[in-house]
Chain A
Amino acid sequence: MPEIFYWEAIRDALREEMLRDERVFVMGEDVAIYGGAYGATRGLYEEFGEERVKDTPISEAAIIGAAAGAAMCGLRPVAEIMYIDFITLGMDQLVNIVAKNRYMFGGKTTVPMVIRTQGGAGRGIAAHHSQSLETWFVHLPGVLIATPATPYDAKGLLKTAIRDDNPVLFIEHKMLYRTTGEVPEGDYALPLGQAKVTRPGSDVTVVSYSRMANRSLEAAEVVAAEGIDAEVIDLRSLRPLDIESVLESVKKTGHLVLVSEGYKNANALCEVAFRVNEFGFDYLDGPMLRVCAADVPVPMSPVLEEAAVPSVESIAGGIRQALAD
């Protein structure tokens, strides 16, 4: 199987879906001539022209709202919000229009659109360009949320997101664009709401998503050297949430560690913990534990930035702690 970059996987998914369905188009800041701030739309403008690859003004509310209007009128827009930090500028459109119109209008319309955006720390670009804000949207009924960690998942999930009749918030990670992974040639789509066991294990379950799913795998190898056999689960999407896979694993291991790059307080994965409490309390042999970003605006200094988000070592520490007593 060929190895490609994460950004290429996204670009390929967009390209193939645009070839497959003429209703699909891309719009956003710097997506056309520039090819996207992280290069994920490179080549699309040259192939499809400005009719279907549209550079927009810096107008997040108009980007998201116009995508919603176009979706309600029969197109399938893929709108890019350059950084998830900027989504605040289009928040009303996302929260009050995109997420609600179908339900509010009695189920008589659909809003089939994708908002592609990216989050995460790692580049030293500080508090307005490094956040992981997916938790805000996990709270919101009406949107689906994909958070791919690998090129394979990025391509397969983006295809599903574009084909889905629901609005999908597709959250990439800026530190993953230059990572590579095996991706089969040709068409495939992966379902939303299906977690993946990326490392089977028997002692403790580690649940994560996006870049932290990869770090959790690394941490699992660190503790493996100490005799701890961790099972790592990449949720891949936060809504729908595949709680069944988590429960199945916890039933086996009895311990649960949750790893997220989002702020610790009221993190999206607290919902996972609560559902395990509801449906799998008896499986637990010890308290559930979370390793999350510090509750501080993401600082610029590389030393502080790295301290503010989960590291391989802090995740490994969490795993050890979950098993201690």
Chain B
Amino acid sequence: MAPKILARNDKLRLLKQMLQIRAFEDKVFELLARDLLKGASHAYVGEEAIAVGACAAIGLEDYITSTHRGHGHCLARGADLKLMMAELCGKATGYCRGRGGSMHIADVKAGNLGATGIVGSNIPVATGAGLALQMKKKKSVCLCFFGDGAANTGAFHESLNLAGLWKLPVVYICENNLYGMSVSVERALAVKNVADRASAYNMPGKIVDGMKVLEVYEAVSEAVERARRGEGPTLLECKAYRFRGHSRGDSRKYRTREEEEHWRARDPIEQFKKHLLEEGALTEEEFSALEKEVGEETSAAERFALQESPDPSPDDLYDDVYVDYEQGNTRLRRKS
């Protein structure tokens, strides 16, 4: 099948999303350093092409599940920078009212079934979303993002087996950024590629250049179309690189600076920008304007989170543990 061709505006939208993710993560890093943001934060810098390319291939009726490195998926799925930043800062105005933070952003109504702090734990959830779509006879799909580390969990194997067996409309997108925290894939994976495992689950497996947004878009589009036709799941392995460490305190002693330079030279934003310039779809002036626009949006998100958003009230601590039940310190009662 011929890949779908993106219009110029769409391509510029993808570029802007990639810039948004980059700027957002840079801002998060800065706020962490200034101690204005607490908690863990796993940056998506370097992997922008995957979330952006993949989410461009789906529509409003589709779902995604995200990971502990999930900011990019949210933004690519159309999340509001302000609500995301507020959530990272633990504010009442955030996507999860400050309960989730960096690792648990969700917007179920908008098709984002959420991020998770447990490596691999959303793979069964995405599989269940696919089951629901199949049972409801929808043409929709679920994109399941996960990392190379998750590919070694039992949840991965159980889920892909089930999806392959039942032909569920799920696209499993492995973001292989070469390290599970500090351990390289060579030291963790018994096969060379995660995609090699697809044959064990009776689904196509494909390796994709995760630093090239249009390649990701095309591969995911193809897998999505296959799923929509009722032909079942696909396993895509997007080879990429985590430019930053696992989290802020990571000294990166498990990898060389040369290796980092090698990958930074393949920066997904720079590559896409170059492609668009060569194609005549973008000028340097337009790029600068886009960068400026994204910078302003990011600053507005920071202002919203830090200056315009209240903290959640401890009075609401017990809200929403259960639906229709009231919980106090010691008792749980059904609301009358």
Interface residues of A, Cβ cutoff 8 Å to B: 25, 51-52, 56-57, 59-62, 64-75, 77, 89, 92-93, 96-97, 101-110, 112, 141-142, 144, 164-166, 191-193, 239-241, 243, 275, 278
**CB within 8 Å for A70 and B155 given contacts A97-B125, A105-B108:** no
Query: Shortest distance in angstroms between A103's beta carbon and chain B's nearest beta carbon?
Result: 5
Given A104-B99, A104-B104, A240-B334; 10 other pairs, CB 8 A cutoff: A65-B127, A65-B155, A65-B159, A66-B131, A72-B128, A77-B128, A96-B116, A106-B96, A106-B97, A108-B95
Q: Which residue of A lies closest to B126 (CB)?
A: A69
- Does B265 touch A at the CB level, under 8 Å? no
Interface residues of B in 99-153 (CB under 8 A from A): 99-100, 104, 106-109, 113-114, 116-118, 121-133, 135-136, 142
* Contact between B114 and A69, CB atoms less than 8 A apart: no
* Contact between B132 and A69, CB atoms less than 8 A apart: yes
**CB within 8 Å for A74 and B322 given contacts A65-B127, A68-B124, A104-B100:** no
Interface residues of B in 42-94 (CB under 8 A from A): 63, 65, 94
Q: Which residue of A lies closest to B87 (CB)?
A: A106
* Contact between A70 and B128, CB atoms less than 8 A apart: yes
* Contact between B333 and A193, CB atoms less than 8 A apart: yes
- Does B331 touch A at the CB level, under 8 Å? yes
Query: Which residues in A have their C-beta under 8 angstroms from that of B334?
Result: 191-193, 240
Among the listed A69, A106, A278, which residue makes an inter-chain contact with B125, where contact means beta carbons less than 8 Å apart? Answer: A69
Query: Which residues in B have their C-beta under 8 angstroms from that of A141?
Result: 321
* Contact between A70 and B132, CB atoms less than 8 A apart: yes
When A and B form their complex, what is the total count of cross-chain residue pairs whose Cβ atoms lie within 8 Å? Answer: 173
Query: Shortest distance in angstroms between A316's beta carbon and chain B's nearest beta carbon?
Result: 32
* Contact between A96 and B118, CB atoms less than 8 A apart: yes
* Contact between A68 and B128, CB atoms less than 8 A apart: yes
Among the listed B99, B132, B331, which residue makes an inter-chain contact with A243, where contact means beta carbons less than 8 Å apart? Answer: B331
* Contact between B154 and A66, CB atoms less than 8 A apart: no
Taken residue by residue from 4 to 21, chain B's Cβ proximity to chain A (1 for < 8 Å, 0 otherwise) reads as 000000000000000000
Q: Which of A61, A66, A278 has the most CB of B within 10 A?
A: A66
- Does B162 touch A at the CB level, under 8 Å? yes
* Contact between A96 and B106, CB atoms less than 8 A apart: no
* Contact between B129 and A72, CB atoms less than 8 A apart: yes
* Contact between A51 and B125, CB atoms less than 8 A apart: no
- Does B258 touch A at the CB level, under 8 Å? no
* Contact between B155 and A105, CB atoms less than 8 A apart: no
From DSSP, what is the main secondary structure of chain B's interface residues?
A: mixed
Q: How long is the Cα–Cα vector from A42 to B158 in the complex, in angstroms?
A: 26
Q: Which of A51, A56, A57, A97 has the most CB of B within 10 A?
A: A97
Q: Which of B94, B97, B121 has the most CB of A within 10 A?
A: B121
Query: Shortest distance in angstroms between B216's beta carbon and chain A's nearest beta carbon?
Result: 23
* Contact between A166 and B135, CB atoms less than 8 A apart: no
Query: Which residues in A have their C-beta under 8 angstroms from that of B158?
Result: 57, 59-62
Query: Which residues in A have their C-beta under 8 angstroms from that of B142?
Result: 69
Q: Which residue of A lies closest to B63 (CB)?
A: A73
Query: Which residues in A have their C-beta under 8 angstroms from that of B135?
Result: 25, 51-52, 70, 75
* Contact between B330 and A96, CB atoms less than 8 A apart: no
Among the listed A51, A64, A278, which residue makes an inter-chain contact with B124, where contact means beta carbons less than 8 Å apart? Answer: A64
Q: How long is the Cα–Cα vector from A64 to B158 in the complex, in angstroms?
A: 11
Count contacts on B: residues with CB < 8 A to the other chain: 54
17 A-B pairs with CB atoms under 8 Å apart are A57-B165, A59-B159, A60-B158, A62-B155, A65-B127, A66-B159, A66-B162, A70-B131, A70-B132, A70-B135, A72-B125, A73-B133, A97-B124, A101-B106, A104-B114, A106-B94, A165-B323
* Contact between B128 and A65, CB atoms less than 8 A apart: yes
Query: Shortest distance in angstroms between B210's beta carbon and chain A's nearest beta carbon?
Result: 25
- Does B324 touch A at the CB level, under 8 Å? yes
Query: Which residues in B have their C-beta under 8 angstroms from that of A165?
Result: 323-324
Query: Which residues in A have their C-beta under 8 angstroms from that of B95?
Result: 105-106, 108
Query: Which residues in A have their C-beta under 8 angstroms from that of B191?
Result: none
Query: Shortest distance in angstroms between A8's beta carbon and chain B's nearest beta carbon?
Result: 27
Query: Shortest distance in angstroms between A139's beta carbon and chain B's nearest beta carbon?
Result: 14
* Contact between A66 and B127, CB atoms less than 8 A apart: yes
* Contact between A97 and B121, CB atoms less than 8 A apart: yes
Q: How long is the Cα–Cα vector from A67 to B162 in the complex, in angstroms?
A: 12
- Does B2 touch A at the CB level, under 8 Å? no
Q: How long is the Cα–Cα vector from A93 to B65 in the complex, in angstroms?
A: 14
Query: Which residues in B have their C-beta under 8 angstroms from that of A275?
Result: 330
Query: Shortest distance in angstroms between B182's beta carbon and chain A's nearest beta carbon?
Result: 22
Q: Which 6 A-B pairs have the closest CB atoms?
A: A65-B124, A69-B128, A107-B320, A66-B128, A106-B96, A73-B132
- Does B161 touch A at the CB level, under 8 Å? yes
Q: How long is the Cα–Cα vector from A240 to B118 in the complex, in angstroms?
A: 28
Query: Shortest distance in angstroms between B315's beta carbon and chain A's nearest beta carbon?
Result: 14
- Does B254 touch A at the CB level, under 8 Å? no
- Does B332 touch A at the CB level, under 8 Å? yes
- Does B250 touch A at the CB level, under 8 Å? no
Q: How long is the Cα–Cα vector from A141 to B99 in the complex, in angstroms?
A: 14
* Contact between A69 and B127, CB atoms less than 8 A apart: yes
Q: How long is the Cα–Cα vector from A57 to B63 in the complex, in angstroms?
A: 24
Q: How long is the Cα–Cα vector from A73 to B108 in the complex, in angstroms?
A: 9
Q: Which residue of B lies closest to A192 (CB)?
A: B334
Q: Which residue of A lies closest to B320 (CB)?
A: A107
Q: Which of B132, B133, B159, B165 has the most CB of A within 10 A?
A: B132
Query: Shortest distance in angstroms between A313's beta carbon and chain B's nearest beta carbon?
Result: 34
Q: Which of A68, A96, A164 has the most CB of B within 10 A?
A: A68
